[in-house]
Structure 1
Amino acid sequence: MPKTRYKSAASEAIHSAASDLYDAKVISKKTMREYDELCIEKAPDFDAKAIARIRKDVKVSQAVFAHYLNTSPSTVQQWERGDKKPSGMAARLLQIVKKHGLAVIA
């Protein structure tokens, strides 16, 4: 399971305390979701040009890029046209590829 990315060390500590309270059934699932929203870093937001730039930087076709990201070539095309936005998980994968290249997920 991937490591959760918190907004700060303080956010991580607060979320950990809230998680313990949730496990002890002191706070509700709704309240825990509010702590998630407050403390956990959101997935990055990539626009169409940024996605195309990431793919071109790793020097692969849309079809190959789609294969690595476990999606369809048409989805990559839609991202690069700006017709669709990558989901949270796909955005995280794009963030990893941007920072480390394709080798890290190959």
Structure 2
Amino acid sequence: MVDTRLDKMHAIAKRFNDNGTIDQLTMRKIDALAMSAKNEEMTAARIKSIRQREHISQGVLATVLNMSSESVKKWEQGKTQPQGAALRLLNVIDKKGIEAVI
């Protein structure tokens, strides 16, 4: 849902750029922001790798993400995938470290 809203806002900005309301430099910045805001999918191995790199347990990661330990366990086993806010936070942790979200 967030991606849909982001796509709509990006399309509006593109129309403004097409009619000259937004200059090229601003449009390039908006393009970059829109691309960076999209969540990258998380594989089971990647989630486990992030957790191990940060030296935290499944329980600690679950607490940071406001999820259950069982959810994190299922993600790492590849049974389910993180969605929404949990996926966004995992992307932040992956790029900036656990300190960025605690």
Fold agreement, TM-score > 0.5: yes
Name structure 2 gaps, 5 residues minimum.
1-5, 16-33
Please tell me whether residue 94 in structure 1 is matched to residue 83 in structure 2: no
Name structure 1 gaps, 5 residues minimum.
1-5, 19-38
Task: Write 1 or 2 for the structure with the bigger share of helix.
Answer: 2
- How far residue 17 of structure 1 moved from its aligned partner, in angstroms, is 6.5
What letter is aligned with 2:51?
R
Please tell me whether residue 52 in structure 1 is matched to residue 52 in structure 2: no
Counterpart-to-counterpart distance in 1, 2:86 and 2:76: 13
Match of 1:66 in 2: 62
CA RMSD of aligned residues (A): 2.4
TM-score normalised by length of structure 2: 0.65
TM-score normalised by length of structure 1: 0.63
Q: Secondary structure at the match of 1:99?
A: helix
What letter is aligned with 2:88?
R
